[in-house]
Structure 1
Amino acid sequence: MDHFNRFIAITSLLEVSFLGDQYTWCNNNAGPKRIWLRLDRLLINLAGSLAFLTLKLIHKPRILSDHSPLVAISQDPTRFPRSFKFCRQWTQDEDFSDIISRS
């Protein structure tokens, strides 16, 4: 773990915040032998964190594995290009050339 932690520090990786259960792993034992840990994480560099400001990690419920499935989501609004419609009649307007020049 020391090597891995040094790698994270040297490369300036950041941990993405999460939603959901705190723990991502369980040893599936019963009673006092049960162990819960947060082993699974999402790391991102500075450029990635600036590109995805609202990036979050969701810890989903464990079903078939001893690990929780992780889902990364970004709540950034999807930007679709606006459709542009051109009406030829606009060219007949006396201010058309001035409006296009200013734009």
Structure 2
Amino acid sequence: MKSDVLGVILVYAYVAILLLISEKILKKYPLLSRKFLHIMVGNIIFLLPIFETRWAMAFIAAAPFILITFLLSPYSPLKIPSTASMAGHGLGLVYYSISWTLLAFLFFQRPE
């Protein structure tokens, strides 16, 4: 349980840092910003061994990003302006969040 909490904190902190850096880069180099974000988000895999349960990883660390990324997409009913989600496919980040959630739930097993 303790390491699940640490894992969630680290995942959210890592994503927040990536978004801040990406937004800084986006102002000067929009294409580079998007590529940077795509490459660096893959490093979340190094945080996965911290988690103890698939439930925490999938439904606390990953699943909330489905809603967050949808609300930042062009299809959001809230129409929140977001330059990061406008750079690529309108639902690309949502699809990524869905796949990350499903993969974390279906295939994560902590060795005993």
Report the TM range for the smaller structure's normalisation.
Answer: under 0.3
Compare the two structures and name the one with the higher strand fraction. 1
Q: TM-score, normalised by structure 1?
A: 0.22
Q: Which of the pair has more CA radius of gyration?
A: 1
TM value normalised by structure 2: 0.21
Which has the larger share of helix?
2
Which structure has more relative contact order (CA 8 Å, sep 6+)? It is: 2
